[in-house]
Amino acid sequence: MEELIAKRYIKALSSADIASIQNTADLFSVLSESFNDEKFINIIESPDVSQDDKLEILLGAVSSAKSSQVDNLIKLLVENKRINIIPAIAQELKKEVASSTKTYKGTVYSDSEIDAKTLQELGEGLSKKYGSTISLEFVKNDFNGIKMDVEDLGIEINFSKTRINSQIIEHIVKAI
């Protein structure tokens, strides 16, 4: 639900150039990290703290950007009591920037180690196929095979050792 609301606020920002949107995305990413701090959340959600004080705190956090557009967005969020969607706005801005620049990040999951050269080759292959720049990072887990996921493009490629083994056995049985 928050993503849908965040998209409406982002539409107002999307008229700006890519560099401006990138700066805004970086700013909101840093601001959204504040929502991991329990004290910050208590202040923002407290009914004892006035809207003006909340506005002052948030404007102080984004003052380094010196952007009237960002200031106005913060004012609008405080006015409409939508401060809690700042992390969703940050996430949607990242997606907007990735879509505009055609630069995406993906993750490769496997139970065995994959070296950086192989990750780079996989990323280059996907980049050619989808006409974009895809960088991959490796996450070791207990998945028995290899799973590649580029969420923003909706790509999920999965090679399971057990599934391949069962298909080979099934093929041999059919041949007999």
The pLDDT tens digits for 71-99 are 888 888 888 888 888 888 888 888 888 88
State the pairing for strand pair 103-110/133-140: parallel
Higher-confidence residue: 1 or 50? 50
Q: Crossing angle, helix 51-62 and helix 68-79, to 10 degrees?
A: 150
- Tens-place pLDDT, residues 34-52: 888 888 888 888 888 888 8
Token pair 């993750």: residue: 107
Averaged pLDDT, 131-152: 86
pTM score: 0.70
* pLDDT of 8 higher than 80: no
Please report, as a single letter, which amino acid is at residue 71. Answer: D
Categorize the per-residue pLDDT at 15 as very low, low, confident or very high, splitting at 50, 70 and 90. low
Contact in structure between 90 and 31 (CB atoms under 8 Å): yes
Contact in structure between 122 and 108 (CB atoms under 8 Å): yes
Averaged pLDDT, 150-160: 85
Strands (E), the chain: 103-110, 133-140, 145-150, 155-160
| pLDDT of amino acid 16 | 66
Higher-confidence residue: 153 or 10? 153
Averaged pLDDT, 119-136: 87
| pLDDT of amino acid 14 | 66
Higher-confidence residue: 106 or 100? 106
State the pairing for strand pair 145-150/103-110: antiparallel
